[in-house]
Structure 1
Amino acid sequence: MSDRDSDSDRDRDRAYDDPYLIVSSDCHAGLPTEQYRPYLDSRFHRAFDEFLGQRDARREEATRLGIRNEAFAARWFHDHEEGLRGGWDTGQRLKELDGDGVAAEVVFPDADAVDSQTAAPFGVGLGLSGDQDPELGMAGARAHNRWLAEFVSERPERHCGVALLPVTGEPDEVVAEIHRAKASGLGALMIPSMWVDKAPYHDRRYDPVWAAAAATRMPVVTHSGAAPRHEYGDHLGIYVSEVTWWPARPLWFLLWSGVFERHPGLRFGIAEAGCWWLPNQLWFMDRLYLGAHGGKKLSPFAELKRPPSEYLDRQVFICATNTKRRELAQRYEIGVDNILWGSDFPHPEGTWPATRQWLRDTFHDIPVAESRRMLGLAAAEVFGFDTGKLAPIARRIGPTPADLGQPADQAAVEASWARSRETGRHWLTGSDFPVLGVAP
C-alpha cells in the first residue's frame, strides 16, 4: 500500500468517525403571549388586551373541534415542563439542543403547539394568513420579530431567526420590514401559506418583496399551520389530510409565474409539510414543461427558461421536519441537497426529546456523506450558518455515524443504493422507475 493510499484511508476513516454537524431547519420559539406587550407599539395595547381576553374561548373551541386533546395536553406539559421552557429561555433551550445533538437551528414562531400559550400577537405566528387585519397583522409580526432578534442575538452562531412577514400588505411597508428584520440580525422570512382574498403570489405587486428578499439573502419560507378550518366542521381528519398542502401551494404559483426566473437570487422553502408529495409533483411539472401530450394544447410557458426541476435545484428547499424513511427513499428524485431535516423542537409531533434514537431509527442505512448533507450541511448553506463556528459545538455534542448505526463499510451502503442513485429522476434519465430501497 502506498503512502497516498494510506493517507486516503485515514481521511476516509476520519470522515466516518467525525460527529455530525446537525442543523435543524425547523424549530420554534415564542414568548408566553402576554409577555409580548413591551415589544408591541403602544397604540396596539388595547387591541392586544382584547386578543388576550379571547384565549380561553379559542382553546375551548379547539377542544370542541378535536384539535386539542385535553388528556394529552395535561400529560405533555407535566412530563416536559422543564424542557418546554426552552421555548423562550435561552439557557434551557441550549441544554435541550445539546441533548438532541443539534448544533444550530432555524427558529420559527409559536413554541407551544398544544395550547397556543406562546402565540404571537393577533395570531400571526403559524396562523399567519393573508386575510388578517393588515395593521394588526404587521404590528403583531413586528413585535415577535423584535423579541426574536433579541433572543437569537445571545448565541447568533447557533440560531437563524425567521421574521414574520405579512406579505399581502402594502409592498413598501413589507419591503421596509424585510430590511429592518435583516438589520436586527434575523436571517429568513416566513410568509403566509394562504393569501385568502388578497392577490395570489403570481401577482407582480409582490416583485419588490421577492427582490428585497433576494438582495438581503433572506430565504422566504412557508410553514404548515394555516388552513380553511371554517370549512372542516368537527372533522379533524380533513384538516390533517390537507394541512400540508397549503404551504406547498405557493411553490407552483411562484414557479409558473416566472418569479424564480426573474429573481434568480431568491431562495424559497416549505417547512413542516413533508416532501413525500414532491417527486410526483416534480415529475408532473417537468412533463408539462417538456411537452407531454396533455400540455401541448396549453399556451407556451413563456415565463420559464428551463424545466421546473432545474429551478427546484437552484432555488427551492424543503424543511422536511421529522423526515420519514419513505421520503429518504425518494431522495434522488427530490434531490439530496433539497432535503433539510428538522426536529420541530419543542413541538410534540417532532423528534425532541428523543432525537438521537429517532436519527438512528431513520438514517441507519443511509450513506454517511448524504446524511451529512441532509442533517446539517445543506441547511447551513441555505440559512447562512458559519460551519467553522459550529464545528467545535458539533465535536462536543454531535452523534457519530456509529451512534446512528451506520456501518464503517460505507462502500457496501453506497452499493445498496446504486440503482436508485443512477436512476435519479427517471423521467429525465430515461431509466426504469426504481424500486424503493427503504421500507415505509
Structure 2
Amino acid sequence: MDATTEPYLIISSDCHAGPPTEEYRPYLDARFHRDFDEFLAGQDRRRAEMTRLGIRNEAFADRWFHDNEEGLRGGWDPARRLKELDGDGVAAEVVFPDADAVDSRTAAPFGVGLGLSGDHDPDLGMAGAQAHNRWLAEFVGEHPQRHRGVALLPVTAPTDRVVAEVYRAKESGLGALMIPAMWVDKEPYHDRRYDPVWAAAAECAMPVLTHSGAAPRHEYGDHLGIYVSEVTWWPARPLWFLLWSGVFERHPGLRFGVAESGCWWLPNLLWFMDRLYLGAHGGKKLSPFAGLRRPPHEYLDRQVFVCATNTKRRELAQRYEIGVDNILWGSDFPHPEGTWPDTRAWLARTFHDIPVAETRRMLGLAAAEVFGFDTGRLAPLAKRIGPTPADLGQSGDQRAVEASWARSREVGRHWLTDHDFPALGVNP
C-alpha cells in the first residue's frame, strides 16, 4: 500500500469534553463548594437569557439532543467517545472544555471553560480551571495515546500560581494550555509579567492556545449578529500582541495556536504585517519593530498554528499563503457547528481535489508534530478506521492534481515571491 492509497491518520485539533456541571464537585476544593452551589443555581437563568438573546435556538436544541442523545454521551463517557471518534475516522484528538455547546449543561465551574476571560475572579477562576484540569487528566488518561488534554490556564491570575498550574498540568498528563482570549482590565499579553508563563510553557513543550467563545457580550445588546461577527476576532488578537512585542523572539520554543476561529483572516493579516516589517511606504514613519529580528511570516512558520475547525474550501484555496503546515483541521466533536456525526462525507466534499500529501499534513501529521502524538502507535488504528484517499474522492491521477495547483503554489505568499496577486493581476 503506497502513500496515495493508505488510509489517513486523522487528528482533530479541536474537540471538546466535560461532564455535566454538577459532577465537577469532587474535583473542586471544598472551600469553593458554596460558591459552586450558587453557580449551579443560576444555570436555568443563564440558559433562559441565552434563549432570549438568540444564542440558544430552543427548537434546534430539542432536535439536536433527541437525534444525537447516545453520541453526545461521548462528551464525558470515554468508551462512547472512542466509538464516535472511530465512526468519524479520527484516530486522535486535542480536547478543549465544554462538551455541550447548546445548553451549556457541561460548563466548567464558574464559567471558566470556553468563556475563560480576564474578568473572572482570580480565586474562583483558578479554582474552576483546576477542577476541570483534574477531571480532564483522568478522562484523557484512559487512552492517552489518542487524546491531548488542553488545561485551562487563567493566565491573568498571580504569576506564581499560574506557573505552578502549568507544571501541575504537565505532571498530570495534560498536553496544552488554553489562555483567555480577552484580558479585559488586566495587563495585555505584551506585558513582561507573563514572561515566566511563556517560559514555563516552552520548557514543558505545552502549546498555548486561545479558543473562540469569550467576547464582550454586554456591548451587543440583542444584536447577535455583532457577536457572531466578532467572536473569531478576539482569539486571534493575542497573536499580534505576542508577535510585535517580541514574545516569540524571546521564547523561540513557545508554540501558539488559535482554535475554532477559522483561518480565512490570516493571509491578509500576514501580508499586512510583513509589508510593515519589510518597509512598506505606509509604515516608514513608524518604528514598530523593536525586539524583532525576522519578518512576521518567519515567526508564524516557526511557532504559530491555526486549529482551523471545519476548514472551508475558501481557506484551503489560500493554504499556500497561510502555510500548509500551519493549518490543523478539527471536527469540533461533539458541537453541532462541527463536522460530527457526518465527518467522512464532509471530508470528501472539502478535500476531494487537494493533493494527498498536503491533505495528510492538514488532517493529522502537522497536529501530531505540534501536540506530540506518537504516529507509530496510532498507525495501526488509522489503518483500521481512517478513510482512504479514494474515500475522499482523491483517487485520480495525483500528478494532474498537483499540476492543477502548480500556479497557486508557485505564487505562494505573493508579496515575498514577487508574483502578481492572482485575483487582481497586480502585486500590491
Scaled by the length of structure 1, the TM-score of the pair is: 0.96
Q: 1:204 aligns with which of 192, 216, 219?
A: 192
| Cα deviations by residue, 1:373-431 (Å, 9 ceiling, x for unpaired) | 00000000000000001001100000000000002410000000000001000000000
2:25 pairs with 37, 51, 55, which one?
A: 37
- Aligned counterparts of 1:236 and 1:68: Cα–Cα separation in 2: 11
Residue 83, structure 1, aligned to residue 98, structure 2: no
**Partners of 2:348 and 2:371 in 1: how far apart?**
25
Given the alignment of the two structures, is residue 339 of structure 1 paired with residue 289 of structure 2, yes or no?
no
Q: 125, 148, 162: which one pairs with 2:150?
A: 162
Report Cα offsets for 1:257-312 as digits up to 9, x if no partner.
00000000000000000000000000000000001111111125121000000000
* Partner SS state of residue 90, structure 2: coil
Report the equivalent of 1:121. 109
Give the aligned partner of residue 430 of structure 1: 418
1:17 partner SS: coil
| Code of the aligned partner of 1:54 | G
Alignment partners' CA distance in 2, 1:197 and 1:429: 42
291-300 or 329-338: which moved more?
A: 291-300
Matches within 5 A, 1:60-209: 60-209=48-197
| One-letter amino acid matched to 1:181 | A
Q: RMSD of the TM alignment (CA)?
A: 0.8
Could you say which residue in structure 1 is the equivalent of 2:235?
247
The AA in structure 1 aligned to 2:73 is R
Q: Which runs of 5+ in 1 are unaligned?
A: 1-12
Query: Do the aligned partners of 2:244 and 2:288 also contact (CA within 8 Å) in 1?
Result: no
Matching of residue 284 in structure 1 with residue 284 in structure 2: no
The residue number in structure 2 matching 1:3 is none
Matched letter for residue 178 of structure 2: M
- 203, 209, 212: which is aligned to 1:224? 212
Work out the CA distance in 1 between the residues paired with 2:51 and 2:288: 49
CA contact (8 A) 1:164 1:190 kept: yes
**2:221 maps to what in 1?**
233
Match of 2:369 among 359, 378, 381: 381
Amino acid at match of 1:133: D
TM-score, with length taken from structure 2 = 0.98
Q: Is the CA contact (8 Å cut-off) linking 2:98 and 2:108 kept in structure 1?
A: yes
Separation in 1, partners of 2:178, 2:19: 18
The residue that corresponds to 2:40 in the other structure is: 52
Q: What residue is the counterpart of 1:271 in the other structure?
A: 259
- Residue 14 of structure 1 deviates from its aligned partner by 1.1
Contact preservation (8 Å) 2:246, 2:291: yes
Please give the alpha-carbon distance, in whole angstroms, between the structure 2 residues aligned to 1:408 and 1:177: 50
Runs of 4+ in 1 over 6 A off after TM superposition: none
1:434 and 1:217 mapped to 2: Cα distance?
38
